[in-house]
Structure 1
Amino acid sequence: MTTSPNASDSAEPSAPLPGSHGPGATVEAHPRSVGTVRTTYAPDPDGDPDPGEIVWTWVPYEENDGRGKDRPVLVVAREPGGTLLAVQLSSKRHNNDREWVPLGTGPWDRAGRDSWVAVDRILRVHPAGMRREACALDRGRFNLVVNRLRERYGWR
């Protein structure tokens, strides 16, 4: 039996997804008020989220009404307190949209669909809020994303 990456697809009640509630919840971060951000590329397949990795966590909807869904995010920086800054991925087409960086395909999407990364919304991910590591993104595509973030927010 195959399992869906989105636990809400199941008809059976289940435990809340990591990152969906409590002190380890994934939340939106205001990119211009998070302080100095130094993006780094430091993937390490150790089971913990690291900059340069795509991980799965619960992500709140932009309406901030308590709803959200399990989805992949690209970790771009580690904050001094141990939290991480990330940007969400989507398989919805965003061609010619400056708010989205095209990534192409990768092992984070079992269906092999093209993906895009949103640079207009920054997420704060707690290590305990991560459901699983998907993969390390190659440095070239990581740099495309962080260069756009640096351009937009003045990060280093």
Structure 2
Amino acid sequence: MTPHPTGWHLFKQALAIRDAQPLDKGLRRINDRLGLLGEQRPTGRRKAATIHIERTEDRARSIFFTPDMDGQADSGEVVWVWAPADTPQDPPQERAILVVGRTRTTILGLAISPNPEHADESWWLEIGAGEWDDQGRQCWIRMDRVLEISEEQVRRQGVLFPARRFERIANRLRSTYRWG
């Protein structure tokens, strides 16, 4: 037979329920950022991330291949962001971004695109197919613009860019855009 709960016991239960809500929110946020929620992710219209775009030479910095599955997006990892569409009435599209640097709270990245029209554009570099495109298409990376995005607005999925291909991009950034 279970004893009748005391006032103190009921108070502790109420606190546990109240405190579980922020904990649950926090765990859902962490799982969402890590891409672990899968089909449980909320459906409906996504909000586009705030993306600051700068000329690559204006953000010149040292670049190294330093992926580390430590909870932060690091140089050499691919992340996804809900980017604004070309027209305001269209919904945002999830885009793959190669991380090439970071600040304390933001990532710096280069946009990845499977659009074959980029093959003839000098500011795009061919990177081949990889896990960043779920259809396995040939892709390109935009070299002349750096995207700065709050780390909270990107989704990580544990995809590392191949080191040799990353070094090709780093060499282009060093030789053309004055990166170190």
Q: What TM bracket, shorter-length normalisation?
A: 0.7 to 0.9
Cα separation, partners in 2 of 1:62 and 1:141, compared to 1, 3 Å: farther
Q: What's the offset of the Cα at 1:62?
A: 7.8
- Return the match for 1:88 from 93, 98, 111: 111
Residue type at the aligned position of 1:144 = R
Residue type at the aligned position of 2:162 = D
Give the TM-score of the pair, scaled to structure 2.
Answer: 0.65
Residue type at the aligned position of 2:58 = S
Secondary structure of 2:93's counterpart equals strand
Relative contact order, higher structure (CA 8 A, sep 6+): 1
- Return the match for 2:74 from 43, 50, 54: 50
- Return the match for 2:177 from 147, 153, 156: 153
Whichever structure has more helix as a proportion of its residues is 2
Secondary structure of 1:87's counterpart equals strand
1:2-151 matches, within 5 Å, as: 13-17=44-48, 20=49, 25-34=50-59, 36-60=60-84, 68-79=92-103, 81-93=104-116, 94-151=118-175
Sequence identity (%): 30
Q: Which runs of 5+ in 2 are unaligned?
A: 1-37
| 2:46/2:82 contact within 8 Å kept | no
Q: Which runs of 5+ in 1 are unaligned?
A: none
Residue type at the aligned position of 2:136 = G
Q: CA RMSD in A?
A: 3.0
Give the TM-score of the pair, scaled to structure 1.
Answer: 0.74
Structure exhibiting the larger radius of gyration computed from Cα positions: 2
Secondary structure of 1:33's counterpart equals helix
- Deviation >6 Å, runs of 4+: none
- Residue-pair matches, total: 141
